[in-house]
Amino acid sequence: MTAPAKNKPHKSATGLFGFHTIYGAEGHHDTPYITRAWFGRLRFHIFHRGDADPDCHDHPWDFWTFPLTPYVEEVVTPDGHGGFIRSVQVVRAFRLTYRPAEHCHRVLGRLSALAPKLPANWTAQISAPWEAYDHLTDNRKIITIVWRGGIGRRWGFLRHRDGRWCWTHWKHYVFEGGKDAPCIDPQELADASAIREYAADLAGMTLEQMEREFETVTEIIDRDTAWQEAHSAGIRAKKREAPAR
């Protein structure tokens, strides 16, 4: 995927059959990204270039892909410890490959004719800027045949910002500034929301003062909660004792 062109609306492959070209923002210019034709779930894709976005994306459907040209892709997979591993691999031509919707990747470019001959299942972890692998790709078109699965799902981009990973819905990523936003821990978002109304009061307090106030408020809440529960129980008891009307 790639960010849409500024002057061209985002398009989806709808209807039984169709044909269109999607343009995307590449630097300061709008350039053709992908031309696709489809008949039902069968699709024919011509990538005019690789993905311009810096982040990998997952997909709305499972799919089978049958490349007519080899290409190079970046892939992000879980590392088993709450993080992810970035790697680069070659997708060979004339090989039918199943991709689950969760397959998170970005197309980097067509495999260069000048690239060294690589083993069939070659892959390498990315520990340097992508430019270190520039020799693997060139600017020729990538052509694939795709059979799309059914039942769509939410899809988006997996971003790595300031040492954190976060998933961002594609609409927020493309249209609402999510591409350049920091990855914020959900607890930080909740804390910021809770603090907002009392920011001025908390700004003048030290950590020790906050901790003492927290203990005091907690005691009051615990005591009042018990008193509230007693009232609730008393109301129910009175209602049970009241004669039926």
Q: For 41-75, write each residue's pLDDT tens digit.
A: 999 999 999 998 889 999 999 999 999 999 999 99
Look over the chain and give the mean of its residue pLDDT values, rounded to a whole number: 85
Of 84, 58, 95, 61, whose CA–CA distance to 173 is shortest?
58
Q: Model confidence at 95, in pLDDT bands (50, 70, 90)?
A: very high
* 7 is a domain residue: no
User: Same domain, yes or no, for 221 and 173?
Assistant: no
Global pTM reads 0.70
User: Same domain, yes or no, for 228 and 141?
Assistant: no
User: Same domain, yes or no, for 152 and 196?
Assistant: no
User: Same domain, yes or no, for 46 and 23?
Assistant: yes
* 206 is a domain residue: yes
- For residue 14, give the DSSP letter: -
User: Same domain, yes or no, for 206 and 170?
Assistant: no
Relative to beta strand 17-26, strand 29-39 is antiparallel
* 212 is a domain residue: yes
Q: How far apart are CA 32 and CA 110, in angstroms?
A: 15
Average pLDDT over residues 34-45: 95
More confident residue, 13 or 39: 39
Q: Among 149, 169, 184, which residue terminates a domain?
A: 184
User: Same domain, yes or no, for 38 and 61?
Assistant: yes
Query: What CA–CA distances, in Å, run from 164 to 26, 82, 85, 86?
Result: 25, 10, 12, 13
* 2 is a domain residue: no
Query: What CA–CA distances, in Å, run from 19 to 8, 12, 23, 46?
Result: 16, 10, 14, 11
Q: How far apart are CA 243 and CA 226, in angstroms?
A: 28
Which pLDDT does position 81 carry in this prediction?
87
Q: How far apart are CA 126 and CA 20, in angstroms?
A: 34
Q: What is the sign, positive or negative, of the torsion defined by CA atoms of 191, 197, 200, 204?
A: negative
* 5 is a domain residue: no
Which pLDDT does position 204 carry in this prediction?
87
Q: What are phi and psi of 230, to 5 degrees?
A: -65, -45
Residues 6+ apart with CB under 8 A from 158: 55, 56, 57, 58, 76, 84, 104, 165, 166, 167, 168
User: Same domain, yes or no, for 174 and 190?
Assistant: no
Which pLDDT does position 29 carry in this prediction?
61
SS3 content of the chain, % helix, strand, coil (to 5): 25, 35, 40
* 175 is a domain residue: yes
Average pLDDT over residues 164-184: 90
Q: Among 135, 152, 184, which residue terminates a domain?
A: 184
Q: How many domains, the chain?
A: 2
User: What residue numbers bound the domain in which 235 lies?
Assistant: 185-245
Residue 93: is its pLDDT beyond 90? yes
User: Same domain, yes or no, for 235 and 137?
Assistant: no
Q: How many CA atoms lie within 13 A of 59 on its CB side?
A: 20
